[in-house]
A = this chain, B = another copy of it.
Amino acid sequence: MQVWDADAAVLDRFAADMAVLCDTLLAEGLLQDRDGTLARIRTCPTLEEAVAGVSFVQENGPEKIEVKTDLFARLDAATPPGAIIASSTSAIVASRFTEGLEHRHRCLVGHPVNPPHLVPVVELCPAPWTATETMDRAEALYRDIGQVPVRMTRERDGFVLNRLQGALLGEALRLLGEGVVSVEGLDATIKDGLGLRWALMGPIETIDLNAPGGIIDYATRYGGFYARLAEEPAGPEVFSVENAEKIAATWTQDRSPETIRARQDRRDARLAALRRHLASEQS
């Protein structure tokens, strides 16, 4: 694996950072061959050297359209014929930064979820000109390395995961902004409620099991109820910084960078334990 970053300081400390990460993975039982893994990673001083001879590129630049456009132009020129070029973007569809490229049929979005070694989903979103073969090969590669590729048939802003998250967050932020429930109460509704089912099966399998006759029976019984709620969806205003400030004022947390980092570490340790639990029951 060959790595390049525009910031030389990132490359300088990359081997040390990777060693720390591999130690964590080893301790969590998520990595067998620490030294072999580290030996396979090589940093390169230029983008062009990093993509020389490769068959797959994962681009992880900043979420700015002008940065993506520049990076993809360089990748389009430098990658070997046949190499796939996947962007990790979470919020920009590939058609916006690949349209004019010679090899645009080899470009797609491959959106992983943080932290990718603990959350296996990768969303695959084609541009209108992405080749089926590109999608097939990307899907096979992500599956081979133990991720769970989710293939979209066409572009949608926000892909699938953030569209689903955004819909739920919109309703959550509305209820909180209106003071209908506390943050702790709202979070418990998911953590000690729906989230328990959703960690085991998705929302569609969930409703397929929540009516004696499956999903069509569910729509027959509850469709009218949900349609009534859908008449008055949360609006864009619930995502304002003002609403976030109002909600944060009701929910005291230490939000210093060190504490957020410590809470993230704790989350990741719990995610690793959850993945081990789920893996053990499936075997």
Interface residues in chain A, defined as those with a beta carbon under 8 Å from any beta carbon in chain B = 91, 113-114, 118-121, 123, 148, 150-154, 156-158, 160-172, 175-176, 179-183, 185-205, 207-210, 212-216, 218-220, 222-231, 233-241, 243-245, 247-248, 251, 253, 255, 257, 260, 263-264, 267, 270-271, 273-275, 277, 281
Contact = CB atoms under 8 A, between A and B. Distances in A.
A206 to B, nearest CB: 8
Q: How many chain copies does the complex carry?
A: 2
A245 B216 CA distance: 6
Contact of A248 (B158, B180, B216, B237): B216
Nearest to A195: B198
A231 to B, nearest CB: 6
A270 B25 CA distance: 26
A269 to B, nearest CB: 9
Contact of A113 (B170, B193, B239): B193
A168 B164 contact: yes
Residue with the highest number of chain B CB atoms closer than 10 Å, among A120, A189, A273, A275:
A189
Contacts of A193: 113, 119-121, 148, 161
A263 to B, nearest CB: 6
A211 B167 CA distance: 19
Contacts of A202: 183, 186-191, 195
A76 to B, nearest CB: 26
Given A167-B233, A169-B207, A257-B213, A274 B188 contact: no
Nearest to A191: B202
Given A181-B152, A189-B160, A230 B241 contact: no
Q: Which of A167, A240, A257, A273 has the most CB of B within 10 A?
A: A167
Contacts of A210: 114
Contacts of A231: 236
B204 A176 contact: yes
A223 B244 contact: yes
Lowest 3 A-B CB distances belong to which pairs?
Answer: A187-B202, A195-B198, A219-B244
A113 B192 CA distance: 10
A234 B215 CA distance: 18
A247 B239 CA distance: 31
Nearest to A190: B202
B270 A241 contact: no
B189 A195 contact: no
Contacts of A119: 192-193, 196-197
